[in-house]
Amino acid sequence: MTDAWVPTRAFGRAILMTGLLVLVAVLTGRYDLVVLAAPFALGTALSLRRRPTSLPAPELSTFDGRIVEGDDFAVRVSVANPDPVGLDLILFRLSLPRWVRVRRGDHPYAAPADAGSLAEIELEGTALRWGRHALGPLAVHGVACDGLLVTLRLDCEPLPIRAYPMTDPFRADEAMPRAAGLIGQHHSRRPGEGGELAGVREFAPGDRLRRIDWRVTLRTRRVHVVSTLSDRDAEVVLLLDVLHEAGESGGTGGAASVMDTTVRAAAGIAEHYLHRGDRVAMLEYGFRPRRLRPATGRRQYLTVLEWLLDAKPSSGAYEQDAGAFGAHLLNANALVIVLTPLLDQRSAAMIAGLARSGRFVVAVDTLPPDLRPATDTGWGPLAYRLWRMSRENVVGLLREHGVPVVAWAGAGSLDQVLRDVARMATGPKAFLR
């Protein structure tokens, strides 16, 4: 017998009852005890007449390995019985991660498994929060011979489910502080090939013939051309402060923690700018900084979403190495949007340092507005008020450094500050490098 099939207590009970009843029958000469023993002997013999030798083969699969948080997905649990002997049943139980809900998925299932057949069950689930989730493992037991034999626990590898963050709606109508390159949708202040009319001027060598304004040329009897402002793209760097997590995440439809707001806002902002043709880079400010190089287009958007799945709080007691994180990682003309809860002095210092190095920095406050620490001690409310005042002081200092700090409020929440930053970019600058 295969070692993986083990006898159950019922097997021992059947043998015990048969042996004991027959023994007493032989000793006392009572035929009725033989009759009582008969079903146990007969049942055991019939059950064990054909016994399985192979083990069931479980498998977990889904057609929806990549979904957006809150979306439904289908999981197929299939257990094959490769043995020529049918099993009584296959018992399986699916372990669920915290942020995945599968309807009736927390129950074990008992399914029939005839010889050489496949037992399949389709379950419907929902990813309650963004991230990489591992559905499983799937624990399987085979039961054969009327419950006299069972397999030891068989495990199926967990099924990875990627739940991309639900993008918070974001819209920013304002121009970039410093557009670069020669493509994109931002109207720059430099003349060049573009769609925005800058004026009409006299023809000069190098002008394209198709730009000649014939109406003005005929009126003035001198060749004039239409001049336009060039369209430029811009680089946006989304800097995620992942030093700390705060607040309790309630998944989709529930409360949002700092990481929730950070990741969803980053996805929304990246989607917006990538849709407009800008280059978007990602950077993490944590114990081990991660970086995603700037690029444009839909592929970059998918890469950003994938990159965001691995965002997690990574705090360390030590200061980061200056070489590992600093202004040198950022393009001088890039708009840096820092998503930060401002819970750590190191975050404020980092933002101030970026502003001092001449970067256009906008800080987006991701701390949940309704965050309240546990105040069951007498000093709790006072400590909370002191902490709030200290944090407001930090925000004030950042504003003095020229860093606008705005609370994340979805669509249009950055318009005002982007307008201010764009205006500042046109003026003369004086900063320390």
Q: Write the CA distances from 351 to 146, 312, 359, integer angstroms.
A: 69, 20, 10
Asked if residue 96 binds another protein (CB under 8 A), the reply is no
- Number of other residues whose CB lies within 10 A of the CB of residue 108: 10
**Per-position b or e across 280-291, b if 16+ CB within 10 A of its CB:** bbbbbbbeebee
Region near another protein per CB under 8 A, out of 17-25, 217-225, 260-268, 384-392? 17-25
Of 1 and 411, which has the nearer Cβ to another protein? Answer: 1
**Which residues, including other chains, have CB under 8 Å from residue 415's CB and lie 6 or more apart?**
171, 172, 173, 174
Q: How far is the CB of 7 from another protein (least distance, A)?
A: 8
Give CA–CA dist 84/99, Å, rounded.
40
Work out how close the CB of 397 gets to another protein at its nearest, in angstroms, rounded to a whole number.
42
- Which of 59, 146, 415, 420: binder of another protein (CB under 8 A)? 146
Q: Where in 38-67 is the site for another protein (CB under 8 A)?
A: 38-48, 51
Can you tell me which of 57, 111, 216, 371 binds another protein, judged by CB under 8 A? 111
Q: Rule CB under 8 A: is residue 117 a binding residue for another protein?
A: no
Q: How far is the CB of 1 from another protein (least distance, A)?
A: 5
SS3 (DSSP) at 124: strand
What does the longest C-alpha to C-alpha distance in the chain come to?
Answer: 135
237 binds another protein (CB under 8 A): no
Q: Going by C-beta distance under 8 Å and a sequence separation of 6 or more, which residues neighbour residue 184?
A: 231, 232, 233, 234, 276, 277, 278
CB of 294 to another protein, least distance (A): 51
Q: What is the DSSP string of 157-200?
A: PPEEEEEEPPPPP----SPPSS-BSS-SSEEEEEEEEEEEEEEE
Beta-bridge partner residues of 284: 240
Residue 152 touches another protein, criterion: CB under 8 A: no
Q: Which among 106-114, 124-132, 244-252, 409-417 is the span making contact with another protein, rule CB under 8 A?
A: 106-114
Q: Which of 55, 60, 75, 91 binds another protein (CB under 8 A)?
A: 91
Task: Report how far apart, in Å, the C-alpha atoms of 104 and of each of 68, 77, 108, 205, 327 are.
Answer: 21, 13, 9, 75, 51
Contact between 148 and another protein per CB under 8 A: yes
Contact call for residue 68 and another protein (CB under 8 A): no
Q: Contacts with another protein: how many residues (CB under 8 A)? A: 55
- Binding residues for another protein, rule: CB under 8 A, are 1, 8-10, 13-23, 25-26, 29-48, 51, 88-89, 91, 93, 104, 107-112, 141, 143, 146-148, 150
